[in-house]
Amino acid sequence: MIRRAIILLVLAVCTIQQSARLCAQEETYRFDIGAGIGMSGYLGDVNESNIFKHPGFAGQLSFRYLFDTRWAIRALLTTASLSGNSADFGIIFPGGSQYSFTSQIYDLGARGEFNFFNYGIGETYKRLRRWTPYLAVGIGMTFASANGTFAAMTLPMAFGVKFKLRPQLNLMAEFAMTKAFGDHLDDKNISDLYQIKSSFLKNTDWYSTIMISISYEFGKRCATCHYVD
């Protein structure tokens, strides 16, 4: 009788320990905060082909709401330095003029993100993967400072890869192209150089970023344990 009680006690302790381990593995989080650095590039009136001819510095802060293992919405604050010189490309403007510029931009935006795989660690019944490619698209507002201040709506589009270093720690590499609905990201004096008037949709300014970032998840979603066979 005593031996049977001891065996039952040991089995109970082992079950509790196993449940605790599963709960620890299956903790999920609602929020994610991160920062990144990288390189920026420009396409526009004085650079029509090589987006990284004059690379600049880019930095980024982000905050995500994680709907589940596939979907998230991400708010971003990005700053990037842009520059260009028409002499690099042999562009011939009316009157034989040449143009160059340097500009600093600040972009505040929001994107929806879709992971190709169920992303995470643990929860083996969900077939989570520790890495995943992802796509993102969104909307934003960019402010540029070059020979004055200029603001324009933007359409960012991005592709990247995420990797979980630890259950709450993520490493990401991302390439993004951002379309500006305006023609003065480079310089207020660099516009309509071919005497063709630009508009909200008809303009040439884009900028891009290649970013390496790290993020930390927090805000436990649920502590419920699930049976895993």
For the segment 77-96, the average pLDDT, to the nearest whole number, is: 78
Report if residue 20 sits inside a domain. no
The percentage of residues in the chain with a pLDDT greater than 70, rounded to a whole number, is 72
Q: Report whether 4 contacts 31 (CB < 8 A).
A: no
Who's near 148: CB < 8 A, 6+ residues apart?
A: 188
Report if residue 17 sits inside a domain. no
Rounded to whole angstroms, the Cα distance separating 136 from 71 reads 10
Rounded to whole angstroms, the Cα distance separating 111 from 92 reads 38
Report if residue 11 sits inside a domain. no
**In the predicted structure, residue 3 carries a pLDDT above the cut 70:** no
Q: Report whether 119 contacts 162 (CB < 8 A).
A: yes
- What is the enclosing helix (H) or strand (E) of 154? strand 149-166
Which structural domain, as residue segments, surrounds residue 36? 30-220
- Average pLDDT for the chain: 81
Report if residue 45 sits inside a domain. yes
Amino acid residing at 165: L
| Dihedral, 82, 86, 89, 90 alpha carbons, nearest 10 | 180
What does the pLDDT read at residue 60?
Answer: 98
For the segment 72-100, the average pLDDT, to the nearest whole number, is: 80
- Specify the higher pLDDT residue, 47 or 110: 110
Q: Report whether 104 contacts 146 (CB < 8 A).
A: yes
Report if residue 4 sits inside a domain. no
* Residue among 87, 111, 116 nearest 209 (CA): 111
Q: Which of 125-134, 151-160, 170-179 has the lowest mean pLDDT?
A: 125-134
Q: Residue 99: how many CB atoms within 10 A of its CB?
A: 17
- Model confidence at 189, in pLDDT bands (50, 70, 90)? low
Sign of the C-alpha dihedral computed for residues 75, 114, 118 and 68 taken in this order: positive
Q: Report whether 170 contacts 32 (CB < 8 A).
A: yes
* CATH number of the domain to which 185 belongs: 2.40.160.20
Task: Please tell me the total count of domains within the chain.
Answer: 1
Report if residue 165 sits inside a domain. yes
* Backbone φ and ψ of 125, nearest 5°: -65, -20
What does the pLDDT read at residue 15?
Answer: 47
**In the predicted structure, residue 13 carries a pLDDT above the cut 70:** no
Q: Report whether 160 contacts 136 (CB < 8 A).
A: yes
Report if residue 12 sits inside a domain. no
Report if residue 170 sits inside a domain. yes
Rounded to whole angstroms, the Cα distance separating 176 from 40 reads 9
Rounded to two decimals, the pTM is 0.79
Q: What is the pLDDT of residues 21-69, one digit of tens each?
A: 444 445 789 999 999 999 999 988 777 778 888 899 999 999 999 999 9
Q: What is the pLDDT of residues 192-221, one digit of tens each?
A: 555 555 544 556 789 999 999 999 999 987
For 217, the 3-state DSSP assignment is strand
- Parallel, antiparallel, or unpaired: how do β-strands 169-180 and 206-222 relate? antiparallel
